[in-house]
Amino acid sequence: MDYVYGPGRNHLFVPGPVNIPEAVLRSMNRNNEDYRSPAVPAMTKTLLEDVKKIFKTTTGTPFLIPTTGTGAWESALTNTLSPGDRTVSFLIGQFSLLWIDQQQRLKFNVDVVESEWGQGANLDILESKIAEDTAHTIKAICIVHNETATGVTNNLAKVRKILDNYRHPALFLVDGVSSICAIDFRMDEWGVDVALTGSQKALSLPTGIGIVCASPKALEASKTAKSVRVFFDWNDYLKFYKLGTYWPYTPSIQLLYGLRTALDLLFEEGLDNVIARHSRLGKATRLAVEAWGLKNCTQREEWVSDTVTAVLVPPHIDSTEIVKRAWKRYNLSLGLGLNKVAGKVFRIGHLGNLNELQLLGCLAGVEMVLRDVGYPVKLGSGVAAASAYLHNNTPLIPSRI
Amino acid sequence: MDYVYGPGRNHLFVPGPVNIPEAVLRSMNRNNEDYRSPAVPAMTKTLLEDVKKIFKTTTGTPFLIPTTGTGAWESALTNTLSPGDRTVSFLIGQFSLLWIDQQQRLKFNVDVVESEWGQGANLDILESKIAEDTAHTIKAICIVHNETATGVTNNLAKVRKILDNYRHPALFLVDGVSSICAIDFRMDEWGVDVALTGSQKALSLPTGIGIVCASPKALEASKTAKSVRVFFDWNDYLKFYKLGTYWPYTPSIQLLYGLRTALDLLFEEGLDNVIARHSRLGKATRLAVEAWGLKNCTQREEWVSDTVTAVLVPPHIDSTEIVKRAWKRYNLSLGLGLNKVAGKVFRIGHLGNLNELQLLGCLAGVEMVLRDVGYPVKLGSGVAAASAYLHNNTPLIPSRI
Amino acid sequence: MDYVYGPGRNHLFVPGPVNIPEAVLRSMNRNNEDYRSPAVPAMTKTLLEDVKKIFKTTTGTPFLIPTTGTGAWESALTNTLSPGDRTVSFLIGQFSLLWIDQQQRLKFNVDVVESEWGQGANLDILESKIAEDTAHTIKAICIVHNETATGVTNNLAKVRKILDNYRHPALFLVDGVSSICAIDFRMDEWGVDVALTGSQKALSLPTGIGIVCASPKALEASKTAKSVRVFFDWNDYLKFYKLGTYWPYTPSIQLLYGLRTALDLLFEEGLDNVIARHSRLGKATRLAVEAWGLKNCTQREEWVSDTVTAVLVPPHIDSTEIVKRAWKRYNLSLGLGLNKVAGKVFRIGHLGNLNELQLLGCLAGVEMVLRDVGYPVKLGSGVAAASAYLHNNTPLIPSRI
Amino acid sequence: MDYVYGPGRNHLFVPGPVNIPEAVLRSMNRNNEDYRSPAVPAMTKTLLEDVKKIFKTTTGTPFLIPTTGTGAWESALTNTLSPGDRTVSFLIGQFSLLWIDQQQRLKFNVDVVESEWGQGANLDILESKIAEDTAHTIKAICIVHNETATGVTNNLAKVRKILDNYRHPALFLVDGVSSICAIDFRMDEWGVDVALTGSQKALSLPTGIGIVCASPKALEASKTAKSVRVFFDWNDYLKFYKLGTYWPYTPSIQLLYGLRTALDLLFEEGLDNVIARHSRLGKATRLAVEAWGLKNCTQREEWVSDTVTAVLVPPHIDSTEIVKRAWKRYNLSLGLGLNKVAGKVFRIGHLGNLNELQLLGCLAGVEMVLRDVGYPVKLGSGVAAASAYLHNNTPLIPSRI
């Protein structure tokens, strides 16, 4: 049974791992299979073809690696760069911090561009660095599309533009862990060289697949990159792609079938509709926060995130208490504030297979929790603000019209 | 896959079948087993012992019949009565109507006591009938504890009192389909002779087990009851109970394991806590209805139901549209108005394994739907009223303190 | 967890409930749904259409009743006959005995034609009765297609021929519980009036749906049949069929989706291939029994069953010990001998979603158990005989060629 | 549905991924959870404590890494060694080859001790190398306990003895991927410094957890090891162990619950009984091979493996055809011959949650396949030889006595 049982459903609103659709749970409910039989490669082939669509790429090469987001980062970096290589990387929250930490431990020369937590990547500084770098010492720009710790979405099109303006050849590496499949992302159009996400995020699967997609330029770079790697080496995959057996080591059969179903659901809903749904839920959440009289950790409208909202609490309140209380009393799982914003923010994940009423239930719960910890929110106020928006913007479910 | 897919979870708020806890789904996820092996009787024994607790009986004999509530009704009637027997039965809504229809088709002489839909059983008329019946021509009182069509709960203690006052020997047969395990029910204390429920109601299982419990007096009556019966004959069960093999015909292995887990969850939460939770959710729902400016179909406070609320809509609105719209736009399943109240009420089931935030999500959805169909509800008003109550009355989850 | 755990898989070889395919388990692994939404009728419609194919009927009307085989019997009888009606019914084993018992308790005038257990229905006696009955006092012939207790299959075409030869209008009611979907069955061609099976048999689902199919003549008979019935009344179904909502009372959502998948799998394999597979496995089992020097309970080749083999054990051995031992030592579930053949036979079910190697594993297990109880079988002898046949007769799996 | 459907169960006899017990599938059938709630660390704590038992260690520190066996190898190596370090590593089959390849690509100085495929590690050569190495240039002995490609089990106690005899301080790194939980393994007693396995092997889970256990000496080595690592760095785990939150990045909730159940099942059966069961099934398989007149790839009795048997086929037969045919005709999944033994051997995995009759079904299948490809095996001969042994050596299932 569960380790700590509560009646009714757990309301899972952390920004990952997220709610798994029943159809996906069903498809994963199966015995192991021989991955060397003809059946598994046949299915894998469809996965590799279809997964490109979530990156909006036709030229990229995807890798489904049995790992987490952290492993996907490592795959992106070690296959394209060599120790000592200069990267420009933006520190804007806990996850960009961890990626930078990884870059440093992998012995790259990381040029860190730091912003206050709650702000987006400082692209003016990027521009000046690129402008100055006529010698092309910068080998890669590493950027987190959506910083999950602060609810900040960066403008990737602008990064591309800067690189193009200066005809700078740096690789463009993007952590799309909490954006891809939920926030507009265009690998080919934006010239992203490596993009990555994790199965437990917008794809709404369990943890276990790091999905990495490499541009032709990234694949080319992998031929000379000197970072030591074996488990994460793309070459092992490419070798088995050629053989048509696809797997250098044992994949999780269950996750492959789960991914198949997750993609089927995404395409049935339509990727654009999925993104519109996230946008709708994100907007509704922000309106609720405003109605509560609280501030979004994200400092400017241009950076707001449609997959997670970090809510600043008044100084006399410890946001950790909010998260604890939500779980203990209402079976509601919210995201903690991490590192610099620990105690200062709590986070509402609105990511993955989720709908309007699930969100409104969560918002109603947050209101009660806020009262529990002494913040005098007017009960129903956030729900009212969010519903007003949702009521005007939620389409009929296409299959039910 | 699902026949009509929508993103996110279906919000299931019909008054049955209700939401199944994940732990129950898990326990049912299994291959068939030989029900004649020693394992199945060993488990069945624990089920028969434990299921008595949900009826609050120590003297009753339970039967787990592979059927629905309709079959459970037939089991209760045919085992205790003979064609031509006089029953007093209360017509107060669709389900009491269907039970009366069954009684008539089974050739009993049904003395129907009708009330307006929205009212409870008229116990004054019962009293006068009992008082007059010194010849004891009335063989059974048949009463629906909770009329699921109108959200009306009858006072069973009072029925018992009337019978006792007149020392009337009539059998006391109770349909507890939408009450048992959710609304206070006391088989032994109230001298109920046959009580019954269905697995898909408060027990939060799939449909498939009609659970019938017979008092010693009912068992005695079964020895002389002349109604023709085979599939529903208690005797076949009793024969196999004595043999210790328990099953006269093949049970659903999956439902037995599911029932085992459902009972474990009920006892872990505590039956009194489960009833308190239903009372809390029922009250919150009624406060929301009031805040919306709508009327409860139930005409008096004494009859309000803690498992389902039938909401009257203004005359110019068709409640069927509300139910359709809820499903089509918000993935919310509400109960239709049935028969006499078709088009006039919609129903919110708050029954089974459910918690506060699930209900608030539903209420927020109802608000939007009401607006959709032209009723000028103030968005957030019902949620506010419900949360105000829930915020004051929801205990911490015991296992998480 | 399981009540009595053993390592590895349970080898389920009782003649029902049978092994459930993983794909069916998956499709049933789901929350409840509102059966009054548009989705459930939409699916039900496909089920009612497709289920006719397993009966080989285009004119029949199917009913999916939430009950067991015993309930399906009761449905067949009470909808077509009136108390006092004369039926001719064949007693050839435990299940035909139970059906006759039901017929008697339902107050029909049962003309029992008894055969020794191990023999088929005595159709010569049927012929003489039909020949004599120029007054058409016989209202129905009730016959078990495959007697699960003795492994005897009756010749239904011959029954039809006899009726036709004498232009006798008796209804032709067939228990196809352990035959339909596994042994050749042709409702329309053989003029069967009511045919029935249960979900836990060849359809390889959990227990819970009694599937009954009525010919136009049977439906006509139901209009005047006077047997008292409510839960089993076809009329309630027909009423809802007309409304397009299909369900007079709550179906099991899980079983509906399970049935959908079970039918999909059957049609993917091809009904004729399914029947050929059962024939293959039945033949292989009988060859093994012969190789062990044991006798089939079925006395003549014309009656052998392709879904269950009842094996006679030597007089000094108690077959119950074989079944116990198989379960205790090898996690193998065999069928007990029932009633008259208790202690004298054990049964090997080879019914449902099963393949060659599963059967050979079972046969190898039976050999070891036979040695355990003191019968000097040559280990490997039955497997050798069965494999010799299977090796010559097993086709490639079509989807894998 | 499945990609390539066949009737009945797939007979999964590859040496990994192996059959998952139903109870484990059930426990994994669940939604995601917030891994930062108090529930997940509470469960993780029990896992880390209990997983030590399968290594037979009380002093080791386990790591549950979201990766495969290849990643577990990398974790073992990079945390304990520095580029340029000398390792002694034994090449005896495909998996030892791949590990050596990894060691070379990670820039270690690998001293390869090669044996003919089908032989065990040459420990005489090891002894001479250790004897010569008075300067202690050898930093680690890397050995695969059970080479899955050839079915060869190495003698680890002897390795320890050699190191002890010469008081050599080399680290002792063991790949126990296809041995731990199935073949006797004693981390503490044999002074193993790093031992590792994968969830999809004897633990009978899906792929996804690389389980690595480090001795105190290995942990000490990790403080100075200079191999570049981030995802695989033990330090990140140790930091979170201290905090009591356990996870440096998102674990698979489903696999954690699955591992909990897998360990519960192992302990319920008893680890020694599990090992005895593997020994019994291994011996039975080898007897069958002998009865078929075929040779085991393993050249000496001292090396035979109780988890996988590689069977040499006569020169005129292509073993790949056997594997293909088994899958296409009998739904039987056997292991291919890999690399040097491709076409020359097929492999029968007898690993994980498996019992006697499952194995006998497989052996009966292999016999038919052998005939299919033109090898004149006597049908039933292998099954007879295996059953003769199993019949004498299989205990009653303890819970069923």
Two structure tokens written together for C126 = 């049927």
Q: Which residues of C touch D394 (CB under 8 A)?
A: 329-330, 368
Cβ pair C194, C171 in contact under 8 A: yes
Q: Rounded to an integer, what distance in angstroms lies between the CA atom of residue D4 and that of residue D329? A: 12
Two structure tokens written together for A77 = 């970096």
CA D24 to each of CA B29, D265, D274, D350: distance values in angstroms, whole numbers, following the listed order: 11, 9, 16, 19
Q: What is the pLDDT of residue C3?
A: 72
For A130-187, what is each residue's pLDDT tens digit? 999 999 999 999 999 999 999 999 999 999 999 999 999 999 999 999 999 999 999 9
Q: Within 10 A of C279 (CB to CB), how many other CB atoms are there?
A: 16
- C210 has which bridge partners? C65, C198
CATH topology of domain D22-267: Aspartate Aminotransferase; domain 2 (3.40.640)
DSSP D33: -
Q: Above 0.90 for ipTM, yes or no?
A: yes
Mean pLDDT computed over A75-94: 98
Q: What is the pLDDT of residue B1?
A: 53
Contact B20 C34 (CB under 8 A): no
Contact D31 B38 (CB under 8 A): no
CA proximity to C96, closest of C152, C13, C159, C169: C152
- Comparing alpha-carbon positions, the chain B residue that sits nearest to C232 is B71
Instruction: Locate CATH 3.90.1150.10 in chain A.
Output: 11-18+270-392
Mean pLDDT of chain A: 97
DSSP A310: E
DSSP A379: T
Amino acid symbol at C352: G
Q: Which residues of A touch B397 (CB under 8 A)?
A: 4, 6-7, 328-329, 331
Give C196 to chain A, closest Cα distance, Å.
30
For B210-235, what is each residue's pLDDT tens digit? 999 999 999 999 999 999 999 999 99
Q: Rounded to an integer, what distance in angstroms lies between the CA atom of residue C349 and that of residue C359? A: 9
Q: Rounded to an integer, what distance in angstroms lies between the CA atom of residue D109 and that of residue D83? A: 8
Instruction: Locate CATH 3.40.640.10 in chain D.
Output: 22-267
Q: What is the pLDDT of residue A2?
A: 67
Give C381 to chain D, closest Cα distance, Å.
7
Mean pLDDT computed over A35-48: 95
Q: Which member of D32, D68, D335 has the closest CB to residue A66?
A: D68
Q: Which member of C10, C31, C229 has the closest CB to residue B19?
A: C31
Q: What one-character-per-residue DSSP string does D34-66 give? A: -TTSSHHHHHHHHHHHHHHHHHT-SS-EEEEES
Provide the residue-wise pLDDT of chain B in tens; the chain has 401 residues. 567 889 999 999 999 999 999 999 999 999 999 999 999 999 999 999 999 999 999 999 999 999 999 999 999 999 999 999 999 999 999 999 999 999 999 999 999 999 999 999 999 999 999 999 999 999 999 999 999 999 999 999 999 999 999 999 999 999 999 999 999 999 999 999 999 999 999 999 999 999 999 999 999 999 999 999 999 999 999 999 999 999 999 999 999 999 999 999 999 999 999 999 999 999 999 999 999 999 999 999 999 999 999 999 999 999 999 999 999 999 999 999 999 999 999 999 999 999 999 999 999 999 999 999 999 999 999 999 999 999 999 999 999 98
Give D248 to chain A, closest Cα distance, Å.
9
CA proximity to B35, closest of C336, D357, C321: C336
CA A36 to each of CA B235, B377, D72, D376: distance values in angstroms, whole numbers, following the listed order: 56, 60, 21, 27
Mean pLDDT computed over D121-139: 98
Q: Which member of B25, B38, B400 has the closest CB to residue D29?
A: B25
Q: What is the pLDDT of residue D1?
A: 53
Two structure tokens written together for B217 = 């007096």
- B198 has which bridge partners? B210
- B90 has which bridge partners? B113
Q: Rounded to an integer, what distance in angstroms lies between the CA atom of residue A163 and that of residue B98? A: 74
Q: Which residues of A touch C26 (CB under 8 A)?
A: 26-27, 29-30
Give B350 to chain A, closest Cα distance, Å.
11
Element (H, E) at B6: none
Give D13 to chain C, closest Cα distance, Å.
12
Amino acid symbol at B350: H
Q: What is the pLDDT of residue B5?
A: 86
CA proximity to A77, closest of D98, D71, D69, D229: D229
Q: Which member of D26, D38, D400 has the closest CB to residue B29?
A: D26
Contact C22 A30 (CB under 8 A): yes
Confidence of residue A334 (pLDDT cuts 50, 70, 90): very high
Alpha helices (H) in B66-105, listed in sequence order = 69-80, 94-105
Cβ pair C57, C187 in contact under 8 A: yes
DSSP B245: -
Q: What is the pLDDT of residue C2?
A: 67
Q: Which member of D3, D19, D43 has the closest CB to residue A42?
A: D3
- Best interface-test mutation with A: which of D18, D46, D68, D99 has the largest number of A CBs within 10 A? D68
Q: What is the pLDDT of residue B157?
A: 98
Mean pLDDT computed over D136-149: 98
- In this complex, the chains that touch A, judged by 3 or more CB pairs closer than 8 A, are B, C, D
CA B197 to each of CA B63, B281, C64: distance values in angstroms, whole numbers, following the listed order: 11, 21, 22
Q: Rounded to an integer, what distance in angstroms lies between the CA atom of residue B91 and that of residue A267? A: 50
CA B385 to each of CA A361, A364, A378, B310, B366: distance values in angstroms, whole numbers, following the listed order: 14, 11, 11, 18, 14
Q: Which residues of C touch B105 (CB under 8 A)?
A: 228-230, 233
Q: What is the pLDDT of residue A126?
A: 98
Q: What one-character-per-residue DSSP string does C86-145 give? A: EEEEEE-SHHHHHHHHHHHHTT-EEEEEE--BTB---HHHHHHHHHH-TT--EEEEEEES
- In this complex, the chains that touch C, judged by 3 or more CB pairs closer than 8 A, are A, B, D
Q: Which residues of A touch B378 (CB under 8 A)?
A: 384
Strand order through the sheet with D308-312: D295-296, D308-312, D345-349
pTM of the model: 0.98
Map residue B76 onto helix, strand or coil: helix
Q: What is the pLDDT of residue B401?
A: 87
Q: What is the pLDDT of residue A3?
A: 72
Which residue carries 């490109």 as its tokens? A52
Q: Which residues of C touch A33 (CB under 8 A)?
A: none
The share of chain D scoring above pLDDT 70, in percent, equals 100
Contact C66 B68 (CB under 8 A): yes
CA C85 to each of CA B229, C71, C394, D171: distance values in angstroms, whole numbers, following the listed order: 17, 20, 48, 88
Map residue B209 onto helix, strand or coil: coil
Contact C31 A38 (CB under 8 A): no
Cβ pair C357, D364 in contact under 8 A: yes
CA proximity to B17, closest of C324, C244, C30, C303: C30
For A203-213, what is each residue's pLDDT tens digit? 999 999 999 99
C347 annotated ligand binder: yes
Backbone angles phi, psi at D56, to 5 degrees: 50, 60
Map residue A126 onto helix, strand or coil: helix
Q: Rounded to an integer, what distance in angstroms lies between the CA atom of residue A211 and that of residue A53? A: 12
Provide the residue-wise pLDDT of chain C in tens; the chain has 401 residues. 567 889 999 999 999 999 999 999 999 999 999 999 999 999 999 999 999 999 999 999 999 999 999 999 999 999 999 999 999 999 999 999 999 999 999 999 999 999 999 999 999 999 999 999 999 999 999 999 999 999 999 999 999 999 999 999 999 999 999 999 999 999 999 999 999 999 999 999 999 999 999 999 999 999 999 999 999 999 999 999 999 999 999 999 999 999 999 999 999 999 999 999 999 999 999 999 999 999 999 999 999 999 999 999 999 999 999 999 999 999 999 999 999 999 999 999 999 999 999 999 999 999 999 999 999 999 999 999 999 999 999 999 999 98
- C138 has which bridge partners? C86
Q: Rounded to an integer, what distance in angstroms lies between the CA atom of residue D331 and that of residue D346? A: 16
Map residue D331 onto helix, strand or coil: coil
Q: Which residues of D touch A29 (CB under 8 A)?
A: 25, 29
Residue D4 pLDDT greater than 90, yes or no: no
**Pairs across C and D, CB distance < 8 A:** 191
Q: Which residues of A touch B19 (CB under 8 A)?
A: 8-9
Q: What is the pLDDT of residue D5?
A: 86
How, if at all, do strands D210-214 and D194-198 pair?
A: antiparallel
User: Which homologous superfamily is C11-18+270-392 in?
Assistant: Aspartate Aminotransferase, domain 1 (3.90.1150.10)
DSSP D19: P
